[in-house]
């Protein structure tokens, strides 16, 4: 680390006050956080623009000369080939992450049905039947177990099928599916698509960026309409489909007088097991005997979002706060499973005497305690973790400092609930949403999702972008770390309607919903795909996903998973803006292909902006463009005239 440069002020690194306080404390305690490393280690400019190829030992070749076309790799690979390969491998990795997670959920489902797992059960049989019916599995007069087993076998094809179409394409609007079939990008099975993409992006294989892009889309679709969607549906079936629940968030949810356990990761299994274990009277008594008032389970990152939407469990923060929360000294154990787990959490945890426990054989960390979660006996692992945490509580040595900040908001907006909210129990449907989009009260719908990143001021772009969108009457759907950024800022409650434009505010008031709807973890972006498909099905907004006045954005993305998500939205027909950086070389044919040509081919397209106001401007412009094509662009004028009329009437009265 450079000794001469002053470290950045905490307020410049994050909008999250709690995290800022903990950055200050960490510096006093001599603990290095990833914010400091991001500051000290500038990103490699060659890698950042995807101009580096290291797929064989004739290289690595770097094409970062004056113009991207000045040079080719030793094998002759052009910048377009190299950038498309690199981009493709990010999509392969991101898709692999979501589909492996989804497959684990599906295996759990199978073991619950066949009685091998007894600690969990099917919580939402209605959803099970609905999903089965959507896949044309007969349900009439059949018992739950046999339908469930058929559903398991059908969904397994999402991963393992080598030929044919994955099951969930039955939910894709027909015109969109037609487009995919014509382009030859309907996914077969995720394993096949990831394998083929890895093959095609190896040295000396596919060297036509347009052809590589097709396989990139096919793989990404196996994520959005495959692995992620199965994960969401199975989690709902096993643990319950979310309905709105009030949740307390931010680091103030840690309690000085309780045994605080942070559960960080992505699969809901451990956290669901921890909830059962923490309610066990024996463990509760053990905690009381240690002087603690209770056992305080707190989620972080995506499994936290997943479980909070179902049980109202408190949530401490997003990706950029996972080290900071340990700096409080108040965490009596941190457990992790898979994905987005920084290796240095172990070191920070050690500094504060916090047991740091890995629980999934896929994601071990050198030096960490590993307690394997066995799905067939999940409470064994959960109990052990709680006992470790109680022991740590008893022997807390260092002073603790918990930021006092908390915020309350409403989360858990599943598609099923949105339908009910809009139309009631008997007429539940998206019709009122479509009507309000057509009449212009709501201009369109935006998905704001994705990570935080220490190279961007934490949460800042998410918050500013969402504020800007709702002010312009755009309904915002959220998942992932973005949802937590808005939750901490107090924008997931009904109070946020005060910041919405007049049309959106009116709809929010009538329906009783906030203008920002939290839908869950990153795999739950599949809920946004289903919501968009419902909008097409209801009618009046075009006949394919590409016709809808919608847009997506991940303003502070960092993970390969985010690129996979962006690509499946683009391939589905959605306009997607990414912030912070974009992993391609500017001024290349591949850039033009992603940012322009794909839309002309009937898909969505990518865009990049670094400033949240600019992101909002791009998204709004796209939504207005789609409204114009649909012939509903004039309706806003009518609304404004109505309001002006009303005002003039008021004035004369
Ligand atoms: Ni999504 Fe969840 Fe967060 Fe980004 Fe990581 S926690 S799966 S990848 S950082 S939003
Ligand atoms: Fe260089 Fe070609 Fe090998 Fe890539 S595949 S490292 S461009 S020689």
Distance in angstroms (rounded) separating the CA atoms of residues 353 and 288: 21
- Residue 458 DSSP class: B
For 199, counting Cβ atoms within 10 Å of its Cβ (0-12 exposed, 13-18 middle, 19+ buried), the class is exposed
pLDDT of the residue at 100: 97
Give the pLDDT confidence of 457-507 residue by residue, as tens digits: 999 999 999 999 999 999 999 999 999 999 999 999 888 999 999 999 999
pLDDT of the residue at 622: 98
Distance in angstroms (rounded) separating the CA atoms of residues 22 and 353: 16
pLDDT of the residue at 633: 87
pLDDT at position 652 over 50: no
Ligand 2 pocket test target in 46, 63, 77, 82 with most atoms within 8 Å of CB: 77
Instruction: Give the H/E segment covering residue 532.
Output: helix 525-538
pLDDT of the residue at 638: 43
Atom of ligand 2 nearest to the CA of 59: 6
Distance in angstroms (rounded) separating the CA atoms of residues 78 and 345: 40
Average pLDDT over residues 528-555: 97
Share of the chain above pLDDT 90, in %: 91
pLDDT band at 641 (very low <50, low <70, confident <90, very high): very low
Which residues surround ligand 2 with Cβ inside 6 Å? 53-56, 58-61, 73-75, 77, 82, 203
pLDDT at position 646 over 80: no
Give the pLDDT confidence of 348-386 residue by residue, as tens digits: 999 999 999 999 999 999 999 999 999 999 999 999 999
Q: List, in sequence order, every residue forming a beta bridge with 370; answer none if it has no partner.
A: 358
CB atoms within 10 A of CB 362: 12
Distance in angstroms (rounded) separating the CA atoms of residues 159 and 188: 8
Residue 532 or 633, more confident: 532
* Closest-CA residue to 483 (of 444, 441, 521, 442): 521
pLDDT of the residue at 45: 86
Average pLDDT over residues 290-310: 96
Q: Given 3-state DSSP classes, what are the helix, strand and coil percentages for the chain, each rounded to the nearest 5? A: 55, 10, 35
Distance in angstroms (rounded) separating the CA atoms of residues 243 and 421: 10
User: Nearest ligand to the C-alpha of residue 206?
Assistant: 2
pLDDT of the residue at 636: 53
Q: Do domains 79-239 and 251-394 have the same CATH topology?
A: no
Distance in angstroms (rounded) separating the CA atoms of residues 428 and 413: 14
pLDDT at position 136 over 50: yes
Ligand 1: does its nearest atom lie under 6 Å from the Cβ of 228? Answer: no
Contact 7, 27 (CB under 8 A): yes
Give the pLDDT confidence of 198-207 residue by residue, as tens digits: 999 999 999 9
Average pLDDT over residues 515-523: 97
Give me the CATH code for the 415-652 domain, please: 3.40.50.2030
3-state secondary structure 555-602: CCCCCHHHHHHHHHHHHHCCEEEECCCCCCCCCCHHHHHHHHHHHHCC
When the pLDDT of each residue in the chain is averaged and rounded to a whole number, the result is 94
Give me 187's structure tokens. 């996914």
CA angle, 201 as apex, 196 and 202 as ends, to 5°?
100
* Closest-CA residue to 532 (of 171, 260, 240, 177): 171
Class of CATH domain 79-239: mainly alpha
Ligand 1: does its nearest atom lie under 6 Å from the Cβ of 301? Answer: yes
Ligand 1: does its nearest atom lie under 6 Å from the Cβ of 563? Answer: no
Instruction: Give the H/E segment covering residue 264.
Output: strand 259-264
Three-state DSSP class for 188?
Answer: coil
Ligand 2 atom 5, closest CA: 203
Residue 464 or 510, more confident: 464
Distance in angstroms (rounded) separating the CA atoms of residues 293 and 618: 51
Q: List the domain boundaries for the chain.
A: 79-239, 251-394, 415-652
Distance in angstroms (rounded) separating the CA atoms of residues 523 and 645: 46
Atom of ligand 2 nearest to the CA of 56: 3
pLDDT at position 640 over 80: no
Q: Which residues contact 154 (CB under 8 A, 6 or more apart)?
A: 132, 135, 137, 167
Give residue for tokens 């389970």.
297
Ligand 1: does its nearest atom lie under 6 Å from the Cβ of 201? Answer: no
Atom of ligand 1 nearest to the CA of 561: 8
pLDDT of the residue at 5: 67
Core vs surface per residue 282-301: b (16+ CB within 10 A) or e: ebbebbeebebeebbbbbbb
pLDDT of the residue at 645: 46
Distance in angstroms (rounded) separating the CA atoms of residues 494 and 30: 41
| Phi, psi angle pair for 619, to nearest 5° | -65, -45
CATH topology of domain 251-394: Rossmann fold (3.40.50)
Contact 269, 107 (CB under 8 A): no
Contact 69, 587 (CB under 8 A): no
Average pLDDT over residues 148-177: 98
């Amino acid at each position: 680390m450079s000794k001469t440069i002053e470290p950045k002020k905490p307020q410049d690194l994050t909008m999250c006050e709690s995290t800022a306080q903990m950055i200050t404390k960490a510096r006093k305690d001599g603990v290095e956080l990833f914010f400091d490393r991001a500051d000290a280690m500038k990103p490699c400019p060659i890698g950042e623009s995807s101009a580096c190829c290291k797929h064989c030992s004739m290289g690595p070749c770097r094409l970062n000369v004056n113009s991207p076309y000045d040079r080719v790799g030793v094998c002759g690979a052009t910048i377009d080939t190299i950038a498309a390969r690199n981009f493709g491998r990010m999509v392969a990795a991101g898709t692999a992450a979501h589909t492996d997670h989804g497959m684990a959920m599906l295996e759990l489902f199978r073991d619950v049905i066949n009685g091998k797992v007894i600690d969990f059960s099917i919580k939402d049989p209605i959803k099970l039947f609905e999903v089965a019916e959507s896949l044309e599995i007969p349900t009439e007069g059949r018992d739950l177990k046999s339908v469930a087993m058929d559903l398991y076998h059908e969904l397994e094809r999402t991963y393992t099928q080598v030929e044919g179409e994955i099951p969930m394409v039955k939910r894709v609007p027909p015109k969109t599916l037609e487009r995919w079939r014509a382009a030859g990008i309907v996914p077969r099975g995720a394993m096949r698509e990831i394998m083929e993409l890895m093959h095609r992006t190896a040295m000396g294989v596919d060297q036509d960026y347009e052809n590589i892009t097709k396989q990139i889309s096919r793989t990404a679709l196996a994520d959005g309409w495959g692995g992620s969607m199965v994960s969401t549906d199975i989690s709902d079936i096993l643990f319950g489909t979310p309905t709105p629940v009030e949740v307390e968030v931010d680091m103030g949810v840690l309690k000085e007088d309780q045994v605080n356990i942070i559960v960080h990761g992505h699969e809901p299994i451990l956290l669901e097991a921890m909830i059962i274990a923490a309610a066990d009277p024996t463990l509760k008594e053990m905690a009381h005997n240690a002087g603690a008032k209770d056992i305080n389970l707190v989620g972080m990152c995506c499994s936290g979002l997943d479980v909070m939407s179902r049980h109202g469990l408190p949530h401490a923060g997003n990706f950029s706060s996972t080290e900071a929360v340990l700096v409080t000294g108040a965490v009596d154990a941190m457990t992790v499973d898979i994905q987005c787990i920084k290796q240095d959490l172990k070191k920070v945890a050690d500094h504060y005497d916090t047991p740091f426990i890995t629980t999934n054989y896929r994601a071990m960390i050198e030096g960490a305690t590993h307690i394997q979660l066995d799905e067939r006996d999940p409470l064994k692992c959960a109990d052990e973790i709680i006992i470790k945490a109680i022991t740590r509580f008893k022997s807390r040595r260092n002073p603790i400092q918990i930021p006092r900040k908390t915020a309350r908001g409403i989360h858990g907006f599943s598609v099923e609930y949105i339908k009910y909210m809009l139309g009631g129990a008997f007429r539940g449907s998206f019709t009122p949403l479509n009507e309000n989009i057509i009449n212009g009260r709501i201009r369109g719908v935006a998905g704001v999702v994705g990570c935080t990143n220490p190279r961007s001021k934490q949460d800042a772009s998410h918050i500013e972008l969402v504020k800007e969108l709702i002010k312009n009457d755009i309904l915002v759907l959220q998942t992932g770390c973005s949802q937590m950024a808005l939750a901490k800022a107090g924008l997931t409650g009904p109070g946020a309607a005060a910041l919405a434009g007049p049309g959106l505010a009116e709809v929010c008031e009538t329906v009783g919903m906030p203008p920002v709807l939290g839908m869950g973890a990153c795999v739950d972006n599949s809920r946004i795909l289903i919501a968009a498909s419902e909008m097409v099905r209801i009618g009046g907004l075009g006949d394919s996903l590409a016709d809808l006045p919608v847009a997506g954005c991940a303003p502070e993305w960092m993970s390969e998973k985010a690129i996979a998500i962006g690509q499946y939205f683009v391939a589905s027909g959605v306009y997607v803006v990414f912030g912070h950086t974009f992993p391609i070389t500017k001024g290349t044919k591949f850039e033009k292909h992603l940012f322009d040509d794909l839309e002309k081919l009937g898909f969505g397209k990518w865009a990049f902006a670094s400033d949240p106001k600019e992101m909002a401007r791009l998204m709004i412009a796209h939504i207005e463009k789609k409204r114009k094509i649909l012939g509903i662009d004039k309706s806003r004028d009518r609304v404004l005239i109505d309001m002006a009329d009303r005002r003039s009437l008021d004035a004369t009265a």
